[in-house]
Amino acid sequence: MELSDSPISVPDLEKAIARAPLTVSPDTLVLDAIAHMSQSRGQSCSLPSLEDSGEMAMNSEARSSCVLVMQDAKLLGIFTERDIVRLTAIDEPLETLKISEVMAHPVVTITEDNFKDIFAALFLFRRYRIRHLPLTNNSGQLTGVVSPESIRQVLRPANLLKMRRVADVMSKTVIRASPETSVLTIAQLMAAQRVSCVAIVEEDEDGYLRPVGIITERDIVQFRFLQLDLRTIPSQKVMSTPLFLLSPEDSLWTAHQTMQQRRVRRLVVSWNWGRGLGIVTQSSLLRAFDPMEMYWTLESLQKTIQQLKGENIEELQSGDPLRTTEMLSLKGRVLRSADSDSLLNSIRGCLKTLANTPELTPELRQVEFQRAIADLAQLEQLLQTPSLKTDPNRAV
């Protein structure tokens, strides 16, 4: 599949909405809900073509990672993978447990009339620390669900994500366990630490812990569906392995492509021969669209420009000839660009408007966002030479 490298365009938000989310009644047994979640995911496991993978992944995500509890067309609650992990951690018997007893309620929702751009949804995800946002009409009736995964799929923001590194957004707080750790203990770690995955590590001959696998919330759902004895099963028997590891220097675009192609929601980041660990998630990628986060990109580019403008040519000429040629070429391009300062000012103005004008209409917010992205892409191109670019397909 060829992914677009153009600056971000106005996303088709309709494609980010799962119009037929999985729903159950309040009297549904938790075990039955888990079965529905697991089976609905299984129905979308095969990929006829990569061109179809985006929409299929969105529908699979929305249907498999949560169920909505409904009665008489009214939304009563939500039950997610996180809730299954929590129940597993406390070893709660599920045979007679009804979903109404453990669902989260009231549910954070947004009316579809207010879902005109991505900013409202991203704000609610961040504020309430949720990963599913039901949409309703003006009468309060459910019309669909959006998630970080579904929004990420419709954005395809190549240029913006290429400007940021995995190191900029990854979490260095990685919960680890040994291959011998029971799956029940893994679930307890997830619940206690409020994380969605645990990295499985083993000690090498030098005494360093290196990642060999991962267990996620989604795995716990599947294990409960299969009614496995989680007390006795060691992690090494069921963990996902081998891992595809990212480097902190990889671009967020590389992370985006890898998640999409491998149909995963998180990736392990490794450096220093596995001695350093991080986690990057789909929510991490969405941080790149936060106006305040975009200030970081702007400041980084501005520092680069100032550094290039202040370089001492004589000092450059005394260094490595190849590097000198690259730097002189790069410096010349920046100095020849009369627009660099105006681009910086334009971007700063757009971001200030987005951050400080909450009453702005969705249409105007989208215009400002588009302008900032286009200017960032143009400015970033000024600071690139072929020899300095990173190959997004580089193997880790």
User: Could you read off the pLDDT of 247-292 as tens digits, one per residue?
Assistant: 999 988 899 889 888 888 899 999 887 778 999 998 888 877 766 5
pTM over 0.85: no
- Between 36 and 157, name the one with better pLDDT: 36
Sign of CA dihedral 6, 55, 17, 124: negative
To 10 degrees, what angle do helices 81-89 and 183-193 make?
Answer: 110
CA 364 to chain centre: 26
User: Among 79, 77, 90, which residue's Cα sits nearest to residue 35?
Assistant: 79
Last residue of a domain, one of 285, 319, 340: 285
Task: State whether 228 and 203 are in the same domain.
Answer: yes
| Res 194: pLDDT | 92
Q: What are phi and psi of 278, to 5 degrees?
A: -150, 170
Q: Does some domain include residue 160?
A: no
One-character DSSP codes across 163-206: HSBHHHH-B----EE-TTSBHHHHHHHHHHHT-SEEEEEEE-TT
Task: State whether 146 and 38 are in the same domain.
Answer: yes
Q: What is the mean pLDDT of residues 25-31?
A: 96
Task: State whether 280 and 295 are in the same domain.
Answer: no
Q: Does some domain include residue 2?
A: no
Query: In this structure, how many other beta carbons lie within 10 angstroms of the beta carbon of residue 147?
Result: 26
Task: State whether 197 and 226 are in the same domain.
Answer: yes
* pLDDT for 136 beyond 60: yes
| Res 154: pLDDT | 75
* pLDDT for 394 beyond 80: no
Q: Does some domain include residue 393?
A: no
Query: In this structure, how many other beta carbons lie within 10 angstroms of the beta carbon of residue 236?
Result: 15
Task: State whether 145 and 176 are in the same domain.
Answer: no
The pLDDT confidence band at residue 305, using thresholds 50, 70 and 90, is: low
Q: Does some domain include residue 395?
A: no
Task: State whether 209 and 116 are in the same domain.
Answer: no
Q: Write down the residue that tokens 């000839």 correspond to.
A: 321
- Between 204 and 293, name the one with better pLDDT: 204
CA 14 → CA 19, 61, 112, 129, 140, distances in Å? Answer: 9, 16, 10, 23, 19
Last residue of a domain, one of 155, 187, 211: 155
Q: pLDDT per residue over 326-344, tens digit each?
A: 555 555 554 444 456 666 7
Query: Which domain covers residue 301, as residue numbers?
Result: 290-388
* pLDDT for 217 beyond 50: yes
Integer Cα distance of 258 and 255 in angstroms: 5
Task: State whether 280 and 258 are in the same domain.
Answer: yes
Q: Does some domain include residue 118?
A: yes
Task: State whether 187 and 146 are in the same domain.
Answer: no
Q: Does some domain include residue 353?
A: yes
Q: Does some domain include residue 8?
A: no
Task: State whether 204 and 239 are in the same domain.
Answer: yes
Do residues 83 and 191 touch, judged by C-beta distance below 8 A? no
Q: Does some domain include residue 354?
A: yes
- Between 90 and 335, name the one with better pLDDT: 90
Task: State whether 105 and 30 are in the same domain.
Answer: yes
Last residue of a domain, one of 260, 285, 310: 285
CATH number at residue 17: 3.10.580.10
Q: Write down the residue that tokens 């045979």 correspond to.
A: 95
- Between 327 and 214, name the one with better pLDDT: 214
Integer Cα distance of 235 and 260 in angstroms: 26
Do residues 54 and 40 touch, judged by C-beta distance below 8 A? no
Q: What is the mean pLDDT of residues 38-61?
A: 40
User: Among 169, 140, 342, which residue's Cα sits nearest to residue 269?
Assistant: 169
- Between 387 and 349, name the one with better pLDDT: 349
Task: State whether 279 and 318 are in the same domain.
Answer: no
What total number of domains does the chain contain? 3
User: Among 166, 396, 173, which residue's Cα sits nearest to residue 277?
Assistant: 173
Q: What are phi and psi of 71, to 5 degrees?
A: -150, 125
Instruction: Tokens for 263, please give them.
Output: 């149909």
Task: State whether 217 and 295 are in the same domain.
Answer: no
* pLDDT for 197 beyond 90: yes
Integer Cα distance of 45 and 132 in angstroms: 21
